[in-house]
Structure 1
Amino acid sequence: MVAKISIGSSLYGALCYNGEKVNKENGRILGSNKIIIPVDGKADIGQMAENFRMFMPKMGKTKKPVLHISLNPHPDDRLSDQDFEILAREYLDKLGFGEQPYVIYKHEDIDRHHIHIVTVNVNEEGKRLNQDFLYRRSKKITTELEEKYNLHKAQREKISPDTPITKVDSNGDIKRQVANTVKMVGMRYKFQSMGEYNAILGLYNVRCDTADGRVNGREYHGLVYFATDDNGNKIATPLKASRLGKFASRTAIDGRFERAKEKIDLAPTKRKVADALSQSSDKDDFVAKLKERNIDVVFRYTDEGRIYGVTFVDHDTMKALNGSRLGKDFSANALNARFSQQSQPTEQAPTATVVPIPTPTNTTSESQSTSSAGTAQTQAAASTQNQTSQSDSGDYDFTLPGLDLFQPGQSFNPDEEEFRRRMQRKKKRGHRPKF
């Protein structure tokens, strides 16, 4: 049996978290001490908070008086509600909290049923209870209970360098899955911005948002994590970084940003992306060719469907890189221009209609005049065709990888013309991408 202990300052928050499980029929209240439980089994969060405050001093020095404990038996242990309640009360007695006000909840939202206990670590006089070696004592107690009741020995899940990262399963323990994903991503990958961080997390149905604000005149800067579905939609209650662990905090992630700057080598990823781009025929083909090179690409779109962000996640070198870090040719603007032009249908050249000109018979001068005019038109058309041919062979003779796909159709496109001029200016300045 694994016991997890959280020490905090928000009694209402702990009661609300468990009370919502009960009121949504994802849990039930098994028992309590000194706290009144409604007869209908529902959780009256406000009334329960008032009951707790009756046994707590209004003024005290303890800044974090709340203990939120979860007891997690091995999945192979089949325990009844009564068994759970007995374990919880005996655990609290051995820990020294048996006379404190507390509430025992059973969570049933996942297959592995477990219990939560909310209590306080100060007595009615405001004196803090003994918390010395709290976690060590807790471990000893759970071992004793396993032996006494013949339970399976359950250990905390250990994360090794070989542990695979999997997508969050909405039917599983959301908090545990999100915490494991965040921890393993932080251990293995290098990233330098929130966008790059989210590009990796998003592959496993997790998202992170910054939470900045002011409380009681003091600024705070934190992070909030979400579990999502494959389309990026939230599927569970947001999780503050503090609930996952220090590894998920704003301080820890900002530190990873800074350390990554000194360790990231762009060259290997840039070579693979350039190679895939030069061989791809369209965006889908580009994504597929990157997959073959063990790279995931994450595009971000505006409401109009324009690409405004792109991040490459290289699983071989374990790093995430925004396209602009690799060079302008791999930026969101460049890729949007390329793929949007490729997706446009090629316009057919208008078919020329030949209108026969009747030959006048009454005057020779008119015939000569008409003949001269026809010859002039033929020469002008030939000159125009020659100029167009020269323009096609000169202006679009790009040497950058894959830019041969930008061949213009026979109709004029202002977006293509602007892109062509921009590339010409780069050529005149001697711009070449470095691979």
Structure 2
Amino acid sequence: MIVKILRKSSTFKAVNYNTGKVDKNKGELLLVKNFGVLQGIENLRPQDYINYLEAVSSSNTRIKYPQFHVAISTKGRQHSKEELSDIAQKWMEGMGYGGQPYILIFHKDTNNNHVHLVSTRVGRDGKKISDRFEKLRAYRVLDQIMGVGEQQVLKNHLEEALSYNFSTHAQFMMLLETMGYSLDLTDKAYTISKNGHQIGSIDLSKIDNKIADRIKDTVRVKQIRAIFEKYRSIYDTSVNNSEHGYNSSFADFLRKKFGLEIVFHGKNGMPPYGYTLMDHSKYAVYRGSEIMALNDIITGKPNQSNKSQKEQTQTHILPNLRDSQDEAKKESHEEIQSEHWQNKWDNILPVETPTPEHAPPELEIVVPVLNINISDDIDDEAILGRNRRRKRKARTNTR
């Protein structure tokens, strides 16, 4: 479950954005609360809600950005619109907005059920609703509602990360980073933080023991190489470098189809110098060089002639992808894997990106940033030298 306080605004354009979803049958207005006499009037216009919110906000002209716009999202369809409505109302109460006028809209046009709330930061008494440590309190209130403490959540995530086979500290850190945590190295442990505050730690000895017990699955490596070889001639492998990090059509396909997540390593907007592969379906992490050279998976758009050739000779590749089962059964199994692993590591669940003509300026999309030191990674050391390790600089994907 994710809660996101969206960008502040001096107007209440989020009302139009959300009611627009309803008009297009992409959303449903679930609740109109504390709007006084307006709640007894039928066929209200969006401007009616805006006028009421502006009237309440006008009692304190010192508040430059009175709009309060929030999205609460669940993973997939784990929670229904009724459950999300109940959670959202309790959350507003816990955040001090229970007596405020607000509208609650369910969005149904993405893969993850979510609701939006629009209210004003100005209270009935003319005072501003407290925003002290707001983002931190947002998750604490949500955890209390869900009955899940952050310590228990961290314990579960640590157990899951330690269930993977990995060969370096950097790879373990990367697993935790994809879950939304940040790690800092001390003498004998990693301290673990989330949402700006420390919530736990893990002894280095546990990580060292896991690394020492690692057994490389050579059969699986051959399977992954065969998958790479087959699909790199079909999907565009050129890497896009944007503010959200590195990505490619090829990498996106592998993550959704097979649970194979490529994490490119680079810095300062330069092309990637290496990559790490997370095999979420088999709980393993590999250095890129163990699978395929970087240049072989960032060569650009697929060659159509090569694609035809691959289709003609795929019978020589596919035996590595299955044991003794026929192709149809194997492809069916891969589809099941795709459904199971598609959103496994989306720690921050996406809220849909509105089209430019309808998107209010207050919406923002936050992408987790991986900031990991991979100084003990052999590939990184071979390319950039020991000086970078001495400087203890982070060298991983910035997305």
| Fold in common (TM above 0.5) | no
- Calculate the TM-score normalised by the size of structure 1: 0.37
Tell me: higher relative CO, structure 1 or 2? Use CA pairs within 8 A at least 6 residues apart: 2
- Calculate the TM-score normalised by the size of structure 2: 0.40
Structure with bigger gyration radius = 1
